[in-house]
A and B are shown apart, each in its own frame.
Chain A
Amino acid sequence: MKNKKWLAILTIAISGLLLLSACSSTSKKSEEKTASKQEKDTFTYAISSDPSSLNPINVSDRWGLTVANMIYSPLVRVNADGSTTNELAESVEPAKDGLSVTVKLRSDIKWSDGEPLTADDVVFTYEQKVKKENGNADSLWVGDKPIRFEKVDTHTVKFILPSVSSAALNNIATETYIIPKHIFKDVKDFSVSELDPDPVGTGPYKLTKYKRGEYLSFEANDSYYGGKANIKKVVLQIVENTDTTKVALKKGEIDASYVLPSDISELKDSDITTYAYSENRVGYMGLNANSTKLKDQKVRQAIFYAINKDDLNKAAYLSTKYYDNAYSILPPNNPYATEDVEKYKTNTKKAKQLLQEAGVSDLKINLAFTASDDAQSLQATLIQQQLQKVGITVELAGGDGTAIYTELQKADSTKYDLFLGGYIMGNDPDLYSALFKSTGSANYFHYQSEKTDQLFDQGAQELDDAKRKEIYADLQKQIADDAIFYPIVDNKKILAVRNTIGNVKKAGLVPIYTFEDLSKLTIK
């Protein structure tokens, strides 16, 4: 009798479960119809976290910039190969003396609320950005003096430099997203992460709703100067877990996401196309010049000769489709990059010989890397094996990336001898001075070289492009000879997109922002 009761409970439970799934699957059918209707006009892109700022004045993280690039537009855009495209600007003319730039705006551009774009908006934007307290002013200062902005007429703005700076001249019109003065003129504090009145922009999309931790939804901006977007709605869906993202992508709950090279084989047979493109990143192994064990240049060179770059990259990024070997501080696609530097082709004999010349035996050093980064962890173990072959013992010191770099930034840090890292700095070679100049804010290497400092100064002030290229070629050679920085890779970013989405290449795959112009995408 007791067993019967048990059986009854079990039956009820199971039938309840079946009912639930049945009801949900019927509801699914009806909803699928509506869903497929919706899918036709919505592009869903998975992002891994909330954007840390939606304010174009201070935004600096990947997803924040992605959003800024959808809502707003810069004066001029830098393409992946270093060339530029005018967006809001009609023309950009640097003065011959190198002390000012005159930007003429297109006169046909309207904000998404119908107001015309004027020079006032541009001056307003730059005047907010140049304030140090807003946290994003560095590119608008030359030395310790700010750049000034002047409205010439309704559609012309003049940027006035305090002293000659080729770097500022080339970069002033790029990477700053123009905000409307008539909307934000009453905002007191521009260091916040969300500006108060709802954003009005000149970009292809308008933000319609932001649910923190869930999604951001956008609608096409009818007055976009590049032509109305093909896809009516875009959703940036926040999914933290990469495994969930993969399944959702295969299923079609999301249409696009970044994936790792190791994920590609898994996605191959489904309705997904992967696109690999360079983000102009340089992945590297750095040497800490503070370390007493690495004081001798011969020891440093011996380490470089012992490493096999091809093996490292094949192991971490699987196929040359997904990476390029890097040989200089500049990424291979950079217009100033040169391969005419000491490449340290793998040569264990030479490495051993150099160690002998330096009188070093039984060298024991450590190697710091970000433990949660699979590529770095793999490369660290390989470097350990490769250096073992020439008699150098490497102790692996995996840890938290931020903690490692905070430690390395301390002026007298000697905790780590070698470390793995990577950076995306941009196109102008002067931007790299932050890493390699003695006083650079991100000089993790504690690299001090008068010659390099001088070359950076010369390069920043040189107005003739051909001469500038020469200076930076010398600079790259110098750093390679000093053997403080071992470039490993320009690994490509891989975007997986469902086949229902078309024109991916036309929308332009660019570093950080993913799509240069989302309005060009199409949907089936």
Chain B
Amino acid sequence: MTTSKYIGKRILQVIPLLLIISFIVFFMIHLAPYDVIDSITTPNMSKETVALMKAKYGLDQPFIIQYGKWLLNILHGDFGYSVVSQHSISNELATRIPNTIKLILPSYFTALVLAIVLGLFAGANKGKRIDRWIDGICSIGISMPTFWFAMLVIYILGYYLNIFPIIGMHTIGSENSFRDFLRHFFMPYFVLTVAFFPDLTRYVRSSTLSQLSEDYVLVQKSFGASKREIFTHHISRNVLLPIITQIGLALPMLVTGAIITESIFGWPGIGPFFLSATKSLDYPIIMAILLLSATLVILGNLLSDVLYAIVDPRIRKEGSR
């Protein structure tokens, strides 16, 4: 079928794109004025020891050979090992990515539902007080830095009211208690929801407004349909279409969506791992995570195109014509 051919073609296009991205990132890491061994040496190590360590990780070789070696490993499905801690990156990602997803998925979903409700509502009441209120809240939400809001939440809910624990994902010793997980989960979840929803709300509101000015709304009105009927039967469906695109585009967030929030709450996800690797230029980790999120960006785009075609028959028909 044409759709599967189309998908196949798009996936093939991913390969050269990833090659170029990985090359550029690798090159930029190489341009940095120091390398990962420099970041872990101490003044009492002799020059000889440092040289030995650099040789061990191939850092004394020319750039193109280092890149070639790394690429060869990746083609074998091997992300390699962290230079600083010498741990397998695949293992590390396999434990950390689920932790990040546990946090991002519920927050994003909540933000989405909230955004659809608030956005439609604001769009339906354009210019009224409630619209201005929602718009105002969104403006505050967008302009508020996440780390600042996170500290505020920690201080009020975690310390002052003393409702939730501050650090980590579990209390040590009660790793299997779901209730304990929820208590640790609430604050970062809340912060992320607040971080995600304002943009989405504005998006929904503006697409509601553009739908309202469409001819079919006028037609429905002239047929005597109530505003409620128009909204539930027609506008909401058309508004949901572009939202699907948003969901596809949000796919890479599953890996890199909460870097700052995670490190503030000590959540053992990708965030703190990526941050410390970047600080010490631990290039195998940086490369692995960037490759992963680049793949997700590309796949997310593809996914949203495909989903769009499935949901909206108009696009499908035009494609096959």
Q: Which chain A residues have a beta carbon within 8 Å of chain B's beta carbons?
A: 2, 6, 9, 20-21, 24-25, 27-28, 31, 35, 38, 42, 49-50, 52-53, 60-61, 132-133, 135-139, 191-194, 211-215, 217, 235, 237-241, 243-244, 247-248, 250-251, 253-254, 400, 402-403, 405-407, 423, 425-426, 431, 434-435, 441-442
Contacts and interface: CB of A to CB of B under 8 A. Distances in A.
Given A214-B169, A244-B166, A402-B39, 16 more contacts: A53-B85, A135-B45, A213-B96, A215-B168, A237-B167, A237-B172, A240-B266, A240-B272, A240-B275, A241-B266, A244-B167, A244-B266, A247-B155, A251-B159, A402-B281, A426-B44
Interface of B: 32-35, 38-40, 42-50, 52-53, 56, 84-87, 92, 95-96, 117, 121, 151, 154-155, 158-159, 162-169, 171-173, 179-180, 182-183, 186, 228, 263-266, 268, 272-273, 275-276, 280-281
B120 to A, nearest CB: 11
Contacts of B87: 193-194, 212
B158 A251 contact: yes
23 contacts: A2-B228, A6-B121, A9-B117, A24-B182, A24-B186, A42-B172, A53-B85, A132-B52, A133-B56, A136-B49, A138-B49, A191-B56, A194-B86, A211-B268, A215-B168, A239-B167, A247-B155, A250-B159, A400-B34, A402-B39, A402-B280, A407-B34, A434-B46
A251 B166 contact: yes
A254 B32 CA distance: 37
Given A50-B85, A406-B38, A38 B180 contact: no
Contacts of A431: 44
Contacts of A425: 43-44
A35 B186 CA distance: 19
A212 B168 CA distance: 12
Contacts of B151: 243-244, 247
A191 B49 CA distance: 12
Contacts of A60: 40, 42, 45
Contact of A406 (B34, B56, B159, B163): B34
Given A241-B264, A403-B34, A138 B45 contact: yes
A423 B158 CA distance: 37
B39 to A, nearest CB: 5
Contacts of B179: 24, 27
B167 A441 contact: no
B172 A235 contact: yes
Contacts of A135: 45, 49, 52-53
Contact of B46 (A20, A138, A423): A138
Nearest to A213: B268
A237 B168 CA distance: 9
Contacts of B266: 214, 237-241, 244
B186 A434 contact: no
B34 A132 contact: no
A487 to B, nearest CB: 15
Contacts of A138: 44-46, 49
B164 A24 contact: yes
Contact of B92 (A52, A212, A215, A248): A212
A217 B168 CA distance: 14
B181 to A, nearest CB: 11
Contacts of B48: 132
A251 B38 CA distance: 38
B173 A24 contact: no
Nearest to B43: A442
Contacts of A441: 43-47, 50
Contacts of A20: 186
Contacts of B40: 52, 60-61
Contacts of B275: 240
A312 B297 CA distance: 49
Contacts of A251: 158-159, 162, 166
B145 to A, nearest CB: 13
A52 B167 contact: no
A50 B87 CA distance: 12
A492 B183 CA distance: 37
B33 A407 contact: yes
A39 to B, nearest CB: 11
A338 to B, nearest CB: 22
B185 to A, nearest CB: 10
B44 A244 contact: no
Contacts of B281: 402
Contacts of A253: 165-167
Contact of B163 (A25, A243, A405): A25
A60 to B, nearest CB: 6
A385 to B, nearest CB: 28
Contacts of A49: 276
A206 B119 CA distance: 56
Contacts of B263: 240-241
A133 to B, nearest CB: 7
Nearest to A48: B276
Contact of A217 (B35, B38, B117, B172): B172
Nearest to B124: A2
